[in-house]
Amino acid sequence: MTDTILAIIGGTGLTSLKGLEISRREVMHTPYGEPSGPLTHGILAGREVVFLARHGYSHTIPPHQVNYRANVWALKHAGVSAVVAVAAVGGITAEMRPRRLVFPNQIIDYTWSRAHTFFNKDLTHVVHVDFTEPYDADLRRKLIEAARTIKIDAVEQGTYGATQGPRLETAAEIDRLERDGCDLVGMTGMPEAVLARELELPYATCAVVANWAAGRGEGVITMDEVRENLDAAMANVRRVLEATIKA
Ligand code: HPA
């Protein structure tokens, strides 16, 4: 990825990026309000990257309160050329077991009342972006190839169901998501992905399965279990990111 300045949006379990040699922090103000925090510029695996913690560096912003427009706009205007979103998810279908990495290829959006477009007002014409393939094919391929090269156990496709949160789902809701074709469930995949598309920023997700989704595992979902699984899987996320950058 020689000419690419990669942005990494870190989700739950990734509020800082180990190995990142930080050069500066940049406070951005956007027409859409404040991003989740300053952008962290630095060098990872020998190349310039920009890191942003989606939920804030102290993990205090819940999924439905994230200012997705400000985050994506800030990254675009900081000059990044692609975005890898790291996202904790619940696993619905059999392959999506906790601690696995997944590179989803499709999305179903169940979120509501989030600011989900840049094309809202003061328009000279109505804009409908194509979203047939919600993730950038080239960036997905790079992530998948990096994971293969370093022999990380990852699932190379899947449909991400984006729910509103912040509560977790009911078992019946997960059954419905599975009937709809979802393999994974998370609360932050949308509108982040479509906003990146609207600004023509190549965007792909590295999902990390934090737990079996509601009704798919044993008993209730605990935050301890989520934390443990994410802690265990994040080393692999970092390795994939570094291998992607180096490729
Ligand atoms: N549901 C929604 N979002 C999530 C989950 C889940 O089970 N786990 C991690 N993020």
- Pocket (CB within 6 angstroms of ligand 1): 88-90, 163, 168-169, 185-187, 210-211, 213
The gap from C-alpha 83 to its chain's centroid, in whole angstroms, comes to 9
The gap from C-alpha 97 to its chain's centroid, in whole angstroms, comes to 18
Determine the Cα–Cα distance for residues 10 and 198; give it in Å rounded to an integer. Answer: 21
Instruction: State the distance from the centre of ligand 1 to the C-alpha of 189, rounded, in angstroms.
Output: 11
pLDDT tens track for 93-150: 999 999 999 999 999 999 999 999 999 888 888 888 999 999 999 999 999 999 999 9
Instruction: State the distance from the centre of ligand 1 to the C-alpha of 170, rounded, in angstroms.
Output: 11
Determine the Cα–Cα distance for residues 177 and 48; give it in Å rounded to an integer. Answer: 38
Instruction: State the distance from the centre of ligand 1 to the C-alpha of 168, rounded, in angstroms.
Output: 6
Give every CB contact of residue 123 below 8 A, 6+ residues apart in sequence. Answer: none
DSSP conformational letter for 33: B
- Check if the beta carbon of residue 39 is closer than 8 Å to that of residue 52: yes
Q: What are phi and psi of 230, to 5 degrees?
A: -65, -45
This prediction's pTM: 0.96
The gap from C-alpha 146 to its chain's centroid, in whole angstroms, comes to 17
Q: What per-residue confidence (pLDDT) applies to 61?
A: 95
Residue from 64, 185, 228 whose mutation best tests the ligand 1 pocket (most atoms within 8 A of CB)? 185
